[in-house]
Amino acid sequence: MIAETYRDPWGIPHLRAGSARALARAQGRVTAHDRAWQLETERHRAQGTSASFLGAPAAPWDVLVRHARLPDTARRCFEALEARDPETAEWVRSYTTGVNEGLAAGAARTPEFARTGLAPGSWEPWHPLAVWLATHILFAGFPAKLWREQATRHLGQESVPLFATDGPATAGSNGWLLTGARTTTGKALIAGDPHRFIEAPGVYQQIRLSCPEFDVVGLAVPGVPGIAHFAHTGTVAWAITNAMADYQDLYRERLRRTESGVEALGPDGTWSPAHRHPETVPVAGRPPLEIEVIETPRGPLITPLPPAADGEAEALALRYPPRVTHDLGFTALLPLLRARTVADVDRALDAWAEPVNVVHAADTAGGTLHRVAGRVPVRSRTNRTRLAPAWLPGHAWQGWHEMPYGELTDGAAVMANQRGLAAPLGVEFAPPHRADRIRALLDGRRTWSAADLPAIHMDTHLASAAPLLERIAALDHLTPEAAGLRDRLLAWDRRMDAGSTAAAGYAAVRSAVVRHLAAHPAFAPLAEPPSPACPEPLLPWLALTPRIGFALEHLLSAEELYGIDRPAVVRAALEEVAADVDADVAGDVAGDVTADRAARTWGDTHRLAPWQALPGQPYEGPALSGDHDCVLCTSAVPGVTDLAVRGPAARYVWDLARRDDSRWVVPLGADGVPGAAHHDDQLPLWLSGDLVPVVTDWAQLERVDLPATEETEETGETGETGETDV
């Protein structure tokens, strides 16, 4: 059977082929057609060559990737996959064959290639593994250990819980499962939304993959075959959230240079050789960077060792499971596509590696699954929380944790990165507000339909506002302007709606409080450069103002805070914002100011700001409702910006009664090419909380022909896979 490509009214690809391998090839080809720039950007980022066309701003990431040896790890993982599971290895090869067939035509329709002068390259079978690894290397938030080290050094161990929260750059999600006892159809529903940096093109690709073995709809990661995280096979569906597990370690290494190279001091008190080699990082418009890659028995160094260090020197080594096991969990991908029941999903997830996820699954027979999947090493408390000294005993990995399972309560399970099922595996978790709010909304009625659930996605209640509002309520002897602002905030319904002036006032006061706290001398040491030095891509975890912004609830609620007069801080912030508003009103009357800040809404400043590898024209993003601790988690950075760089990277509702009653949406659209018909046609729906229907009736889809490759036009041959062309 020749592989066929169909599109639904939203341009979402539906692929049909005669075998899993032919289907993987078709998936690679259609992804290259729709997302050529994204694929090539991610490939280069995964192998540490993105600065070669993006320029100097991309170089720090490339250096980190090289130091952490991500490309070498991906190669080793693919070699191990070939030995362990040849079928899956050939399936991955087929995907890269399809990518290579489609890249030239995809690049020809994508303006970023012309803007940068980038020519599409050639994908190798290890590249999908590299993309997966690079996409998720920061998911476990290992840079938080650098922050805890800083906080402990300057403020003591007791400071760590004060700042424990879902960090400034940590990915999260909402998810919930309802059994048939809680639905109008008597069959289960699964819904949620993954929270990630909003990117253009989007990080998730809506797609359908159909062959005689399976027929699956779901959200794929461009550059990786199959559908891993969110999918519906017709008889079973599953979804995930970040488990917030801790499975990566940072070791403080003592090293010395010798005539033959570099040696590292081990826990047995002896010096052992460390691997070292030079690498060159190309940078567009600048001379290339020459770096030294060093790896100890613990792992690769992510901070440089001074080239001419006399005597001993220290650096940081990163230990992460795929580097140790040569396994990225790709052996789970085909069994997931072939799953028919929750038992099938459960067995497939036993092979899952990274990232560590909390999983919900349900099938049409009434089965449900609530478990953690992934690989977490057993090791000391120090390893899990701070920097482990490599030269002392007691910090080696001692096997792997058993993954926990959970039970449903009253026919429902909720996961929102809170401390719960995965608590034994992690250190810091998200505050419970999103999970508690979802549970409360679900308990507001006994039964739900697929059409009802998007209302939960869009809930904007901000429970974490309580500590600041309580501090504001306790203030007296305010200026009339501040007293008026206080009264408006205390009457506010605590909903972060885009059209709310009270929400804007709350956000302004919150940011002012954060800035005042960040400027307090008690926290001044935390604003100093980290020691040891930190790679630039990890600095967001160490930035003081965002840390205070995301931990503000704890900092305001603590019994004591290093002698800081918090009522005075809140008073100063309230008066500052009130005076600013009053000044704007006066200025507006005088004709000096064009906007009345007293009438400013949350959506005036809380706007979507998608990340782009190659920034284009200035982008005036649409107004957004929601906030970091709302179910509608559109994350600004209090004290820094109201712009939202993180949020729901997709929304979905999987219906086990009838798959075509399922729904989904992404922030922009199915096509990664600016100006294309389906580039951002889902944005209005994403903003309003509406979802796109999942269409699986082939008769309702449009058959399309992708541009043929030169090889297939001339010969119809299929290269190394030996399968019919797409």
75 and 177 assigned to the same domain:
yes
* Least confident segment among 174-183, 416-425, 709-718: 709-718
- Rounded Cα distance between 504 and 506, Å, is 5
270 and 359 assigned to the same domain:
no
Q: Is residue 129 part of a domain?
A: yes
Which letter, b or e, does each residue of 524-540 get, where b requires 16 or more Cβ atoms within 10 Å of its Cβ?
eebeeebeeebbebbeb
pLDDT in tens, 587-601: 333 333 334 667 899
Tokens standing for 647?
A: 């949020």
Range of the domain at 523: 144-168+461-494+501-600
Q: Is residue 97 part of a domain?
A: yes
Q: Is residue 300 part of a domain?
A: yes
- Taking 90 as the threshold, does the pLDDT of residue 619 lie above it? no
* Least confident segment among 164-178, 284-298, 553-567: 164-178
- Average pLDDT on 295-314 reads 89
Q: Is residue 583 part of a domain?
A: yes
Closest-CA residue to 360 (of 436, 433, 411):
411
Q: Is residue 334 part of a domain?
A: yes
Strands 172-178 and 189-197: antiparallel
- Taking 90 as the threshold, does the pLDDT of residue 306 lie above it? no
Q: Is residue 71 part of a domain?
A: yes
- Taking 60 as the threshold, does the pLDDT of residue 640 lie above it? yes
Q: What's residue 255's pLDDT?
A: 96
pLDDT in tens, 71-82: 999 999 999 999
- Taking 80 as the threshold, does the pLDDT of residue 530 lie above it? no
- Average pLDDT on 38-64 reads 98
- Average pLDDT on 289-310 reads 91
193 and 298 assigned to the same domain:
no
pLDDT in tens, 29-44: 999 999 999 999 999 9
Closest-CA residue to 463 (of 493, 486, 419, 505):
493
Q: pLDDT-based confidence at 724, cuts 50/70/90?
A: very low
241 and 274 assigned to the same domain:
no
Rounded to 5°, angle at Cα 641 from 591 and 463: 110
- Rounded Cα distance between 290 and 285, Å, is 15
DSSP symbols for 432-485: THHHHHHHHHHTTSS-B-TTTTHHHHT--B-GGGHHHHHHHHT--S--HHHHHH
672 and 657 assigned to the same domain:
yes
The letter for the amino acid at 400 is W
Q: What's residue 2's pLDDT?
A: 80
pLDDT in tens, 98-114: 999 999 999 999 999 99
Contact indicator for 683, 622 with CB cutoff of 8 Å: yes
Contact indicator for 606, 636 with CB cutoff of 8 Å: yes
> Alpha carbon of 630 to those of 416, 430, 645: distances in Å?
11, 12, 15
Q: What's residue 708's pLDDT?
A: 66
470 and 567 assigned to the same domain:
yes
Q: How far is CA 115 from the centre of its chain?
A: 28
* Dihedral, CA of residue 458, residue 359, residue 396 and residue 301, to nearest 10: -50
Q: pLDDT-based confidence at 167, cuts 50/70/90?
A: low
pLDDT in tens, 338-352: 999 999 999 999 999
Q: Is residue 208 part of a domain?
A: yes
* Dihedral, CA of residue 149, residue 154, residue 157 and residue 162, to nearest 10: -90
Q: Domain boundary residue among 265, 289, 319?
A: 319
- Average pLDDT on 476-494 reads 97
- Taking 90 as the threshold, does the pLDDT of residue 703 lie above it? yes
- Taking 70 as the threshold, does the pLDDT of residue 507 lie above it? yes
Strands 249-258 and 261-265: antiparallel
Select the more confidently predicted residue: 721 or 596: 596
Q: What's residue 529's pLDDT?
A: 81
- Rounded Cα distance between 468 and 330, Å, is 46
- Average pLDDT on 658-676 reads 97
Strands 651-655 and 189-197: antiparallel
Closest-CA residue to 616 (of 657, 673, 563, 571):
673
Packed helices 480-490 and 501-518: angle between N→C axes, nearest 10 degrees: 110
- Rounded Cα distance between 651 and 195, Å, is 10
Predicted structure pTM score: 0.94
Q: What SS3 class is residue 74?
A: helix
Q: What SS3 class is residue 335?
A: helix
35 and 114 assigned to the same domain:
yes
Spatial CB neighbours of 192, under 8 Å, sequence gap ≥ 6: 173, 174, 175, 176, 239, 241, 360, 415, 651, 652
The letter for the amino acid at 311 is G
| CATH value at residue 80 | 1.10.439.10
| CATH value at residue 507 | 1.10.1400
* Dihedral, CA of residue 25, residue 28, residue 31 and residue 36, to nearest 10: -130
Domain count along the chain: 3
> Alpha carbon of 407 to those of 230, 256, 545, 656, 692: distances in Å?
21, 52, 39, 19, 31
Q: pLDDT-based confidence at 616, cuts 50/70/90?
A: confident
652 and 593 assigned to the same domain:
no
- Average pLDDT on 650-655 reads 98
- Rounded Cα distance between 143 and 154, Å, is 17
Tokens standing for 33?
A: 């057609």
- Rounded Cα distance between 101 and 712, Å, is 9
Contact indicator for 678, 11 with CB cutoff of 8 Å: yes
Q: What's residue 169's pLDDT?
A: 54
Percent of the chain scoring above 90 in pLDDT: 88
- Rounded Cα distance between 424 and 701, Å, is 47
Q: What's residue 718's pLDDT?
A: 38
Strands 214-220 and 230-232: antiparallel
Percent of the chain scoring above 70 in pLDDT: 93
290 and 348 assigned to the same domain:
no
505 and 576 assigned to the same domain:
yes
In the DSSP assignment, the letter for residue 158 is G
Q: Domain boundary residue among 319, 345, 365?
A: 319
224 and 337 assigned to the same domain:
yes
Q: Is residue 526 part of a domain?
A: yes
238 and 334 assigned to the same domain:
yes
The per-residue pLDDT of the chain, averaged, comes to 93
Packed helices 501-518 and 466-473: angle between N→C axes, nearest 10 degrees: 90
- Taking 60 as the threshold, does the pLDDT of residue 713 lie above it? no
